[in-house]
């Protein structure tokens, strides 16, 4: 695990040296590292990524957008097609929306 983390972080640091948009390639390279660290339960890598991003002065919306694009690409590969990935995202969105609606309804009921 340490070897993979080290390799990915090294790639992230060096990938942006010749980028047209400063830090763009570095941030994109960190996305799979962040996802990997979540999957294997490695909080130290996430802290290292956070520190790298802070050192670059990366804007949160920029990071979120790039991480989302990379996660979507990885999901399409894992699911096998864009249609299957879209169905997966729809299911997750429905679950989260339903959970949020229940929480709002419970708050409203207790306030009444």
* Chain segment 36-55, per-residue pLDDT in tens: 998 999 999 989 999 988 88
Are 66 and 98 contained in the same domain?
A: no
Are 25 and 74 contained in the same domain?
A: yes
Number of folded domains in the chain?
2
Are 16 and 38 contained in the same domain?
A: yes
Are 22 and 63 contained in the same domain?
A: yes
CB within 8 A of 46, min separation 6: which ones? 34, 37, 38
CB 46 within 8 A of CB 34: yes
Are 85 and 53 contained in the same domain?
A: no
Are 63 and 103 contained in the same domain?
A: no
Summarize pLDDT for 52-92 with one digit per residue, the tens. 888 888 888 888 988 998 999 999 999 999 999 999 999 99
pTM of the model: 0.66
Domain with 25 in it: 2-79
Are 20 and 75 contained in the same domain?
A: yes
């Amino acid at each position: 695990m340490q070897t993979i983390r080290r390799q990915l972080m090294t790639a992230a640091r060096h990938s942006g040296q010749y980028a047209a948009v400063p830090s763009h390639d570095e941030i994109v390279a960190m996305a799979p590292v962040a996802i990997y660290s979540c999957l294997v339960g490695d909080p130290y890598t996430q802290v290292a990524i956070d520190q790298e991003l802070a050192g670059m002065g990366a804007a949160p919306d920029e990071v979120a957008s790039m991480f989302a694009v990379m996660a979507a690409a990885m999901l399409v590969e894992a699911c096998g097609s864009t249609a299957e990935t879209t169905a997966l995202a729809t299911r997750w969105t429905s679950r989260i929306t339903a959970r949020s609606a229940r929480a709002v309804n419970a708050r409203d009921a207790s306030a009444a």
